[in-house]
Amino acid sequence: MIHEVSGKIEWGQLQVFCVDSVDAESWYNRWDPSARPRRAPQRLRKLHHPRSRASHENLSGHSQITTAGCSFGAYHALNFALKHPDLTNSCIALSGSFDMRQFMNGYYDNDFYFNNPVDYVPNTSDPWFLERYQHMNIILAAGDHDICLGENFRMAEILGKKQIPHWLDIWTGGEKHDWPLWRRMAVKFF
Protein backbone atom coordinates (compact mmCIF):
# COMPACT_ATOMS: atom_id res chain seq x y z
CA MET A 1 0.00 0.00 0.00
CA ILE A 2 2.84 2.37 0.83
CA HIS A 3 4.31 1.78 -2.63
CA GLU A 4 1.06 2.89 -4.24
CA VAL A 5 1.25 6.30 -2.55
CA SER A 6 5.06 6.60 -2.40
CA GLY A 7 5.13 9.52 -4.85
CA LYS A 8 2.91 11.61 -2.59
CA ILE A 9 5.03 10.68 0.40
CA GLU A 10 8.27 11.57 -1.41
CA TRP A 11 6.86 14.94 -2.51
CA GLY A 12 5.73 15.73 1.03
CA GLN A 13 2.03 15.66 0.15
CA LEU A 14 1.27 12.74 2.44
CA GLN A 15 2.69 11.53 5.72
CA VAL A 16 1.98 7.97 6.85
CA PHE A 17 2.08 6.44 10.33
CA CYS A 18 1.69 2.65 10.43
CA VAL A 19 0.38 1.38 13.77
CA ASP A 20 1.10 -2.21 14.77
CA SER A 21 -1.85 -4.50 15.39
CA VAL A 22 -2.65 -6.29 18.65
CA ASP A 23 -5.51 -8.27 17.11
CA ALA A 24 -3.93 -11.57 18.19
CA GLU A 25 -4.18 -10.34 21.79
CA SER A 26 -7.60 -8.77 21.40
CA TRP A 27 -10.29 -9.78 18.89
CA TYR A 28 -8.49 -13.03 17.91
CA ASN A 29 -7.73 -13.90 21.56
CA ARG A 30 -9.86 -17.01 22.19
CA TRP A 31 -9.20 -17.27 25.94
CA ASP A 32 -10.92 -14.29 27.55
CA PRO A 33 -13.78 -12.54 25.72
CA SER A 34 -13.99 -9.76 28.33
CA ALA A 35 -10.39 -8.72 27.57
CA ARG A 36 -10.96 -8.47 23.81
CA PRO A 37 -12.70 -5.08 23.59
CA ARG A 38 -10.47 -3.55 26.29
CA ARG A 39 -7.25 -4.63 24.58
CA ALA A 40 -8.26 -3.68 21.02
CA PRO A 41 -8.04 0.13 21.37
CA GLN A 42 -4.59 -0.01 22.99
CA ARG A 43 -2.91 -0.16 19.59
CA LEU A 44 -4.26 3.27 18.75
CA ARG A 45 -3.68 5.01 22.07
CA LYS A 46 -0.38 6.43 20.85
CA LEU A 47 -2.30 8.46 18.26
CA HIS A 48 -4.35 9.98 21.06
CA HIS A 49 -1.38 10.65 23.35
CA PRO A 50 -0.69 14.43 23.64
CA ARG A 51 3.00 14.05 22.74
CA SER A 52 2.06 12.15 19.59
CA ARG A 53 -0.52 14.82 18.79
CA ALA A 54 2.22 17.46 19.10
CA SER A 55 4.30 15.44 16.62
CA HIS A 56 1.39 15.50 14.19
CA GLU A 57 1.10 19.26 14.59
CA ASN A 58 4.82 19.83 14.04
CA LEU A 59 5.05 17.55 11.03
CA SER A 60 1.83 18.32 9.26
CA GLY A 61 0.97 21.86 10.34
CA HIS A 62 -2.25 20.80 12.05
CA SER A 63 -3.48 18.21 14.53
CA GLN A 64 -6.00 16.46 12.27
CA ILE A 65 -5.32 13.00 10.90
CA THR A 66 -6.91 10.64 8.41
CA THR A 67 -7.35 7.09 9.61
CA ALA A 68 -7.26 4.40 6.94
CA GLY A 69 -7.20 0.65 6.77
CA CYS A 70 -8.10 -2.45 4.80
CA SER A 71 -10.25 -5.32 6.06
CA PHE A 72 -9.79 -5.49 9.85
CA GLY A 73 -7.78 -2.27 9.60
CA ALA A 74 -10.88 -0.59 8.16
CA TYR A 75 -12.77 -1.44 11.35
CA HIS A 76 -9.93 0.02 13.46
CA ALA A 77 -9.78 3.15 11.28
CA LEU A 78 -13.52 3.84 11.52
CA ASN A 79 -13.80 2.99 15.20
CA PHE A 80 -10.92 5.32 16.10
CA ALA A 81 -12.29 8.13 13.92
CA LEU A 82 -15.76 7.87 15.46
CA LYS A 83 -14.41 7.74 19.00
CA HIS A 84 -11.94 10.60 18.44
CA PRO A 85 -13.54 13.06 16.01
CA ASP A 86 -11.56 15.86 17.65
CA LEU A 87 -8.34 14.31 16.25
CA THR A 88 -9.66 12.85 13.03
CA ASN A 89 -10.90 14.77 10.05
CA SER A 90 -11.17 11.83 7.62
CA CYS A 91 -11.53 8.07 7.58
CA ILE A 92 -10.94 5.76 4.63
CA ALA A 93 -12.28 2.28 5.43
CA LEU A 94 -11.58 -0.24 2.66
CA SER A 95 -13.56 -3.50 2.73
CA GLY A 96 -14.29 -3.31 6.43
CA SER A 97 -16.52 -5.28 8.75
CA PHE A 98 -17.86 -3.11 11.55
CA ASP A 99 -19.61 -5.62 13.82
CA MET A 100 -17.23 -7.49 16.14
CA ARG A 101 -19.85 -9.88 17.58
CA GLN A 102 -18.31 -12.76 15.62
CA PHE A 103 -15.27 -12.55 17.91
CA MET A 104 -17.14 -12.48 21.23
CA ASN A 105 -18.70 -15.97 21.60
CA GLY A 106 -21.86 -14.33 22.93
CA TYR A 107 -20.07 -12.20 25.54
CA TYR A 108 -21.33 -8.59 25.70
CA ASP A 109 -20.48 -5.72 28.05
CA ASN A 110 -20.04 -1.94 27.98
CA ASP A 111 -16.43 -2.16 26.77
CA PHE A 112 -17.61 -4.21 23.81
CA TYR A 113 -20.57 -1.92 23.12
CA PHE A 114 -18.32 1.16 22.90
CA ASN A 115 -15.98 -0.62 20.47
CA ASN A 116 -18.71 -1.95 18.18
CA PRO A 117 -19.74 0.86 15.79
CA VAL A 118 -22.93 -0.88 14.64
CA ASP A 119 -24.10 -0.69 18.27
CA TYR A 120 -22.94 2.67 19.59
CA VAL A 121 -23.37 4.85 16.48
CA PRO A 122 -27.18 4.39 16.24
CA ASN A 123 -27.49 5.48 19.89
CA THR A 124 -25.12 8.45 19.69
CA SER A 125 -26.98 11.58 20.72
CA ASP A 126 -24.20 13.68 22.25
CA PRO A 127 -24.11 16.97 20.29
CA TRP A 128 -20.32 17.19 20.76
CA PHE A 129 -19.83 14.00 18.72
CA LEU A 130 -22.61 14.63 16.21
CA GLU A 131 -21.32 18.14 15.41
CA ARG A 132 -17.81 16.84 14.76
CA TYR A 133 -19.10 13.97 12.63
CA GLN A 134 -20.74 16.57 10.38
CA HIS A 135 -17.30 17.91 9.48
CA MET A 136 -15.64 14.53 9.01
CA ASN A 137 -14.96 12.95 5.63
CA ILE A 138 -15.89 9.25 5.91
CA ILE A 139 -15.33 6.88 3.00
CA LEU A 140 -16.55 3.29 3.03
CA ALA A 141 -15.35 1.34 -0.01
CA ALA A 142 -15.76 -2.29 -1.04
CA GLY A 143 -15.81 -4.46 -4.13
CA ASP A 144 -19.02 -5.80 -5.60
CA HIS A 145 -17.94 -9.39 -4.74
CA ASP A 146 -16.30 -8.46 -1.43
CA ILE A 147 -17.04 -10.67 1.58
CA CYS A 148 -17.63 -7.46 3.58
CA LEU A 149 -19.89 -5.74 1.03
CA GLY A 150 -23.00 -6.23 3.18
CA GLU A 151 -21.23 -4.76 6.22
CA ASN A 152 -20.40 -1.64 4.23
CA PHE A 153 -24.03 -1.22 3.16
CA ARG A 154 -25.08 -1.77 6.79
CA MET A 155 -22.63 0.83 8.15
CA ALA A 156 -23.62 3.32 5.44
CA GLU A 157 -27.27 2.87 6.42
CA ILE A 158 -26.45 3.47 10.10
CA LEU A 159 -24.48 6.61 9.27
CA GLY A 160 -27.27 7.81 6.98
CA LYS A 161 -29.93 7.39 9.67
CA LYS A 162 -27.81 9.56 12.00
CA GLN A 163 -27.34 12.08 9.16
CA ILE A 164 -23.57 11.58 9.33
CA PRO A 165 -22.07 12.49 5.94
CA HIS A 166 -20.24 9.64 4.24
CA TRP A 167 -19.42 8.23 0.83
CA LEU A 168 -20.13 4.58 0.06
CA ASP A 169 -18.03 3.64 -2.98
CA ILE A 170 -18.73 0.19 -4.47
CA TRP A 171 -16.19 -1.01 -7.03
CA THR A 172 -17.79 -3.12 -9.78
CA GLY A 173 -16.47 -5.73 -12.17
CA GLY A 174 -16.14 -8.73 -9.85
CA GLU A 175 -13.92 -6.96 -7.29
CA LYS A 176 -13.00 -9.15 -4.31
CA HIS A 177 -11.69 -8.65 -0.77
CA ASP A 178 -7.97 -8.57 -1.58
CA TRP A 179 -4.84 -6.44 -1.98
CA PRO A 180 -5.10 -5.74 -5.73
CA LEU A 181 -8.39 -3.91 -5.11
CA TRP A 182 -7.08 -2.04 -2.06
CA ARG A 183 -3.99 -0.87 -3.94
CA ARG A 184 -6.17 0.69 -6.65
CA MET A 185 -8.40 2.22 -3.98
CA ALA A 186 -5.35 3.76 -2.26
CA VAL A 187 -4.39 5.51 -5.49
CA LYS A 188 -7.93 6.88 -5.86
CA PHE A 189 -8.49 8.02 -2.29
CA PHE A 190 -5.03 9.38 -1.56
- What pTM value is reported for the model? 0.83
Contact 91, 66 (CB under 8 A): yes
Distance separating the N- and C-terminal Cα atoms of the chain: 11
Long-range CB contacts (within 8 A, 24+) of 163-168: 164/121, 164/130, 164/133, 164/134, 164/136, 164/138, 165/133, 165/134, 165/136, 165/137, 165/138, 166/138, 166/139, 166/140, 167/137, 167/138, 167/139, 167/140, 168/140, 168/141
**Identity (one letter) of the amino acid at 163?**
Q
Q: Across the chain, what does the average pLDDT equal?
A: 84
Tell me the pLDDT tens digit for each residue of 110-169. 988 999 999 999 999 999 999 999 999 999 999 999 999 999 999 999 999 999 999 999
Tell me the pLDDT tens digit for each residue of 170-186. 999 999 999 999 999 99
Mean pLDDT of the 58-87 span: 83
Domain architecture of the chain: domains with CATH: 3-189 (3.40.50.1820)
For 13, residues 6+ apart whose C-beta sits below 8 A from its C-beta are none
